[in-house]
Structure 1
Amino acid sequence: MTTTTPAGPDSAPGSGPGPRPAPSKTPGTDNRPARLLAIVLAAQFMALLDVFIVNVAVPTIGAELHASGAELQLVVAGYAITYSVLLITGARLGDLLGHRRVYLTGLALFTTASLACGLAQGTGELIAFRLIQGAGSAVMIPQVLSLIQRNFTGEARGRALGLYAAVLATGAAAGQVAGGVLVSADLFGTGWRPVFLVNVPVGLVLLVLGARVLPRDDTRAPERAHRLDLPGLVLLGAAVSSLTVPLVLGQEEDWPLWSWLSLAAAAVAFALFCAYESRLARRGGTPLIAPRVLRHPGMGLAVFRIMAVMAVNGGFLFVLTLHIQGGLGFSALRAGLTFAPTAVVFGLVGLTWRGWPASWQRALIPAGFALAAVSVAGVGLALRDGHGAGFWLYVAFAGVGTGLALGFSPTLTRALATVRPEDAADASGLLATVTQLGQLIGVAVFGTLFLNRLESLGASGAYTSSDALLVCMFALAATAATGAVSGLVRRRR
């Protein structure tokens, strides 16, 4: 485990300390780094918010559009499916066509699809527009990391990545809060529609500002000449689709045979993808993911830890939502506000950990996972009596936010600290995909555990739901504990 953030290739001997000079201004473009960072992170937050903001609106959508359970599942999951499948492709498109151009295109597609979702008159329309919305996010989101990697160096890059990590994971809890507020407000009698329409004015403002602030693409960059790895794209798309579709739909369909066959096909497709990419790289081609990125020091451990922390995050939010809305009968607003302490603490820790004493830095990641494990179990114990309040519950919520932030933010920042600018697209696509897959796996695995436990108890009510929640919280704590010991295993080797 790295104890300090490496300076990266831009700090090579002779280059001098500190960040590289800001790129010269192009006429009609404002390239000031702070504004660039604000623009890309605002869009990042908006897109991530949309993954979770729909959750608390689902009952209202179902009632108004007369949607079946499977249709509602697709409303929620359709976004995640196209988002996961196309993330790495979006990263490579940015490298080929220019990050500014692809970012603005993805933002325009996302904003247009959000408007269409908010105006949808039927479930089929809403599902189709959610798929397009996820595609827009997949094109836009990888450019955020790439733009940070290419426009910041040294300490400036570390601070930017810290902000990125804070935004990335607070979007989940903030989405639940925002969804509850918007649905309960029922603005102008529009019910669930503002959860989508709120993106439209924000997206339009970001499009206008982005066209002015983002640095213009260098069309002379050598990587622009490389062709898109279409066979690799097909193999990766098949692998991720085969994995994500059963994860998001399996529980709703009671895990039929096709879901297990799809998971097996995903393993085969991933193996074929890895073999093809390695062969392509040996032949001097341009693979979808450069093998050197996967071999980058600490990248494998970072992938494992990010997968673990996001699985805990996704599973925790999902099963707790099921418990407090289904078991405790909380309103959409109260359910959303329940997650506020976790989101606030996560953001604060994500923004400040770099300024903590140097003697603490080595232990931050394992300590964060350990704290998350204890705190997640504490949430289950605080809610085991079938009630929804108490001082220790909020202490545990704060502990979850602190632990997950320390497990996630330093891991992401250190993994990307020495990635070369030309590998920024590959690294951003890989880690963004891992983040999303971690969320999906957490929702699928721990959501299934919670619902199966409820079914086995054969009763309903707050106490039964609390029992199922406690089992899930202990399982989530065990998952967090694996992140705490992962670095120890690596050091021994």
Structure 2
Amino acid sequence: MGQPVPATGRTGTTTDEYTPDPRRWKALSVCLLVGFMSLLDVSIVNVALPAIERGLGASESALSWVVSGYALTFGLVLVPSGRIGDALGRRTAFLAGLVLFTVASIVCGFAQGAGWLVGARLVQGVGGGLVMPQISGMIQQLFRGAERGRAFGMLGSTIGLSTAVGPLLGGLLIQGFGAAEGWRWVFFVNLPIGVLAFLLALRLVPHACAERDTGHRESLDPVGVLLLGAGVVAVMLPLVEERQWQGQGKWLLEPAGVLLIVLFVWWERSFRRHGKAPLVDLGLFQDRSYSLGTLLGLLYFAGFTTIFFIFTLFLQNGMRYSALQAGLTLTPFAVGSAISAAVGGRFITRVGRPLIAVGLALVLLGLGGASLAVHEVQNSAVGWALAAPMLCAGLGSGLVISPNQTLALRSVPVAQGGAAGGVIQTGQRIGSAAGIAAVGAVFFAWLAGSHNWATALDYGLITALCFVAGALVVALVDVAYGRRTARREAREEG
């Protein structure tokens, strides 16, 4: 765990000159509302796919793009969006992203064909990706110390709730508005939320968040944007299209993506040597807490997001649950995550990375219990058997996502908060795509071989557990290194 340093303002001033804005908590509530809406669309669409298939005659490939296209563009624009917010004002970028997301949601709801829906989803992903870095950037800017931990804890609760509540809310909308047109309301529901959030943001988000950083504005690094964007697309595209693209040729994009990212690193260093502000300050990765936090987030999201993917398939297709019943089964995870994220945000600055390690251990325990429950209860009562394990996994998850982001960003200067948060979230999106590709491949391979949904779920969960265990190893390495550093410093002082 990296050593704490004084928090800095946009101009490099220390925390001593920080004056809390009286509207900061109200502004945070608006940010969390918008964050909930944009992240909800990652998971809410899953339960609507059968209805979309029937309503629009969409092919399997088109349905895949409805889900993965949003994730792809969302992840693609995160880092450039964070930089744009740092340079041109986070409030402005936040409002622009909110408008784009809301308008694209309306277009999705009125879609008359699969191509129309996919195109609107791509734009919707851009809007969501523009919004999210501004939220973490504004938390960096408006809060300090323990308050910042609490704010990130509330963001973590929002992330957990939006991911887990998505299937439940989607099931409710489809049941309420009918199988034929209910899927459209999965998108229309964003309209009243978006309008309300926009009006509240105009009133409550401080104009200080519209402040521009002149140094960043004068060197927006378009070459860096293109290199990173192309690299992210090359890495993510084969992962999100793993089941649709036949043959092994698609994997050639992976080394090409790695090469582009290497070129991006070289360019950023060169750009900095010329006295300009790069898209991403690679010096951030010299801070152990930031670099390990980014890696931990990537690994955890590779395991975390796949849980809902395979459980939704198992419950709806294997156990013949309705969309609403499947959503209700996953609700304990959302409840546990919301509770522990709020608690974790209060204690993370005092406890540090050991708290995250405890959370990861609880996730492993909960998912192991879920696997056992599926084996022992192979009938319609499996949803009840899954309640306690999913609650345990949710309680653990709430101690991971937002506390990890709090620790990773605590030494980052406020002026770089948007871009730094964008890098972390891009890693999370790449992790999600890689996890779904890997877990999905194992899940469908065992399903094809055994024709047993419980067996397929079991091996899919084992694969997801490997990613979570990898995140736990990273956390334990950081804990051990931090303690060794503390002992060395104590000896030097003595």
Equivalent-residue separation in structure 2 for 1:194 and 1:481 (angstroms): 38
Write the deviation string for residues 352-404 of structure 1: whole angstroms up to 9, x where unpaired: 12456999656322122122112212111110243353565222111111222
CA 221–472 in structure 1, closer or farther in 2 if over 3 Å, else same: closer
Equivalent residue in structure 2 for 1:396, among 376, 389, 414: 389
CA 214–432 in structure 1, closer or farther in 2 if over 3 Å, else same: same
Equivalent residue in structure 1 for 2:437, among 430, 437, 444: 444
Letter in 2 for 1:121: Q
Task: Give the equivalent residue in structure 2 for 1:251.
Answer: 243
CA 359–420 in structure 1, closer or farther in 2 if over 3 Å, else same: closer
Identify which range, 183-192 or 287-296, moves more after superposition: 183-192
Letter in 2 for 1:145: S
Contact 2:44 2:186 in 1 (8 A): yes
Identify which range, 480-489 or 217-226, moves more after superposition: 217-226
Write the deviation string for residues 30-52 of structure 1: whole angstroms up to 9, x where unpaired: x6111100111110010000111
Contact 2:151 2:345 in 1 (8 A): no
Letter in 2 for 1:36: A
Provide the secondary structure at the position in 2 that maps to 1:193: helix
Structure 1 residues 87-166: aligned runs within 5 Å: 87-166=78-157
Whether 1:477 aligns to 2:477 is: no
Structure 1 residues 402-417: aligned runs within 5 Å: 402-417=395-410
Write the deviation string for residues 145-180 of structure 1: whole angstroms up to 9, x where unpaired: 111111111222121111112212332111111111
Equivalent-residue separation in structure 2 for 1:170 and 1:237 (angstroms): 29
CA 53–284 in structure 1, closer or farther in 2 if over 3 Å, else same: same
Contact 1:373 1:476 in 2 (8 A): no
Matched pairs, number: 475
Contact 1:324 1:388 in 2 (8 A): no
Contact 1:117 1:126 in 2 (8 A): yes
Letter in 2 for 1:150: Q
CA 487–66 in structure 1, closer or farther in 2 if over 3 Å, else same: closer
Contact 1:372 1:404 in 2 (8 A): yes
Letter in 2 for 1:85: L
Structure 1 residues 201-350: aligned runs within 5 Å: 201-216=192-207, 221-254=213-246, 256-350=247-341
Contact 1:82 1:134 in 2 (8 A): yes
Letter in 2 for 1:444: A
Contact 1:6 1:414 in 2 (8 A): no
Whether 1:454 aligns to 2:452 is: no
Identify which range, 355-364 or 469-478, moves more after superposition: 355-364
Task: Give the equivalent residue in structure 1 for 2:420.
Answer: 427
CA 279–393 in structure 1, closer or farther in 2 if over 3 Å, else same: same
Letter in 2 for 1:164: L
Equivalent-residue separation in structure 2 for 1:257 and 1:333 (angstroms): 37
Letter in 1 for 2:48: A
Equivalent-residue separation in structure 2 for 1:79 and 1:187 (angstroms): 24
RMSD of aligned residue pairs (Cα, Å) = 2.3
Equivalent residue in structure 2 for 1:59, among 39, 43, 50: 50
Shift of residue 482, structure 1, vs aligned partner = 2.1
Provide the secondary structure at the position in 2 that maps to 1:166: helix
Structure 1: tracts of 5 or more residues without a match: 24-30
Provide the secondary structure at the position in 1 that maps to 2:164: helix
Contact 2:62 2:114 in 1 (8 A): yes
Shift of residue 230, structure 1, vs aligned partner = 0.9
Shift of residue 481, structure 1, vs aligned partner = 1.9
Equivalent-residue separation in structure 2 for 1:159 and 1:5 (angstroms): 17
Give TM-score, length-normalised by structure 1. Answer: 0.91
Write the deviation string for residues 422-463 of structure 1: whole angstroms up to 9, x where unpaired: 111221111121122222222111011101111122x3xxxx
Contact 1:50 1:175 in 2 (8 A): yes
Shift of residue 405, structure 1, vs aligned partner = 1.8
Provide the secondary structure at the position in 2 that maps to 1:232: helix
Task: Give the equivalent residue in structure 2 for 1:28.
Answer: none
Give TM-score, length-normalised by structure 2. Answer: 0.90
Q: Percent identity?
A: 33
Task: Give the equivalent residue in structure 1 for 2:372.
Answer: 381
Contact 2:80 2:225 in 1 (8 A): yes
Equivalent residue in structure 1 for 2:169, among 167, 178, 193: 178
Provide the secondary structure at the position in 2 that maps to 1:449: helix
Write the deviation string for residues 211-238 of structure 1: whole angstroms up to 9, x where unpaired: 1211225556433532221111111111
Equivalent-residue separation in structure 1 for 2:198 and 2:5 (angstroms): 34
Write the deviation string for residues 405-426 of structure 1: whole angstroms up to 9, x where unpaired: 2222321111112221111122
CA 361–102 in structure 1, closer or farther in 2 if over 3 Å, else same: closer
Letter in 1 for 2:295: F
Equivalent residue in structure 2 for 1:45, among 21, 36, 48: 36
Write the deviation string for residues 280-309 of structure 1: whole angstroms up to 9, x where unpaired: 222222211011222233111101111122
Equivalent-residue separation in structure 1 for 2:328 and 2:210 (angstroms): 45
Provide the secondary structure at the position in 1 that maps to 2:77: helix
Provide the secondary structure at the position in 2 that maps to 1:120: coil
Equivalent-residue separation in structure 2 for 1:224 and 1:478 (angstroms): 40
Equivalent-residue separation in structure 2 for 1:444 and 1:118 (angstroms): 28
Provide the secondary structure at the position in 1 that maps to 2:278: coil
CA 473–5 in structure 1, closer or farther in 2 if over 3 Å, else same: farther
Letter in 2 for 1:480: V
Equivalent-residue separation in structure 2 for 1:247 and 1:71 (angstroms): 16
Identify which range, 476-485 or 97-106, moves more after superposition: 476-485
Structure 2: tracts of 5 or more residues without a match: 485-494
Equivalent-residue separation in structure 1 for 2:5 and 2:340 (angstroms): 21
Contact 2:85 2:93 in 1 (8 A): yes
Equivalent-residue separation in structure 1 for 2:467 and 2:279 (angstroms): 31
Contact 1:95 1:223 in 2 (8 A): no
